[in-house]
Amino acid sequence: MVVDQLRNTAAEGSITGDAHFEAKAVGGISTGGDLAMATEQGDLTIGSAETHYHDEQGDATMHHKSALNSGGSTTLLSGKDLNILGSDVQSHDDLNLKAERNISIDATRNSANSHHGDQTSHVALHNGSHLSSGKETTVLSGKDIHMAASDIDAKGNVVLGAQGEIAIGVREDEMEYHLRANNTKVDMQASIS
């Protein structure tokens, strides 16, 4: 159950969001002051908006980044898991992320599939998350921290602390093209990490 879903919110002062269960932010949140979002007993997700397209020649799924921008400090606290998925979190001062369980800073996957006559193609590209702060960035997890195809940029120190594992990985972008015509067959594939 999503208790609080914020979309395209702006303020010159501070913004504070608090939910007892789950909170999900999609779109843009911007403030000239401090930004704080917290859940007591649920997950906190900064996610992307998803668009699906389908017709007889193919389908596509596109993710549009969410963005949190703070002119002061940004604090994201979760009573369970904290997820930042294909989104940007920017703080002029300190950036603090804390979860009782897992923290996931990950990419979303855009994909397109096309079939036209004897030609088929598939493309999958990832939109990574980007965390940036003008001072310190601190990420603290009661269990694990998983980060994939994303980055953290801080003018000061970056601190990652977990009771479990800290895993930093990549996601592979994919491109495939297949053509069959008369006595000719062309297959091309590429993966980029």
Per-residue pLDDT tens digits for 136-174: 999 999 999 999 999 999 999 999 999 999 999 999 998
Q: What is the pLDDT of residue 179?
A: 82
- Domain for residue 23, yes or no? yes
pTM: 0.81
- Domain for residue 35, yes or no? yes
Per-residue pLDDT tens digits for 65-90: 999 999 999 999 999 999 999 999 99
- Domain for residue 28, yes or no? yes
- Domain for residue 178, yes or no? no
- Domain for residue 49, yes or no? yes
Is the pLDDT confidence value at 4 over 70? Answer: no
Range of the domain at 86: 2-107+128-170
Instruction: Tell me which residue of 17, 26, 36 sits closest to 76, measured CA to CA.
Output: 36
- Average pLDDT, whole number, for the chain? 86
- Domain for residue 117, yes or no? no
- Domain for residue 26, yes or no? yes
Q: How many domains does the chain have?
A: 1
Give residue 30's pLDDT band: very low, low, confident or very high (50, 70, 90).
confident
- Domain for residue 44, yes or no? yes
For residues 1 and 39, give the distance between their C-alpha atoms in angstroms, rounded to a whole number: 13
- 21 vs 122 pLDDT, higher one: 122
Is the pLDDT confidence value at 17 over 80? Answer: no
Which region among 2-6, 62-66, 106-110, 153-157 has the lowest average model confidence (pLDDT)? 2-6
Q: How many CB atoms lie within 10 A of CB 128?
A: 19
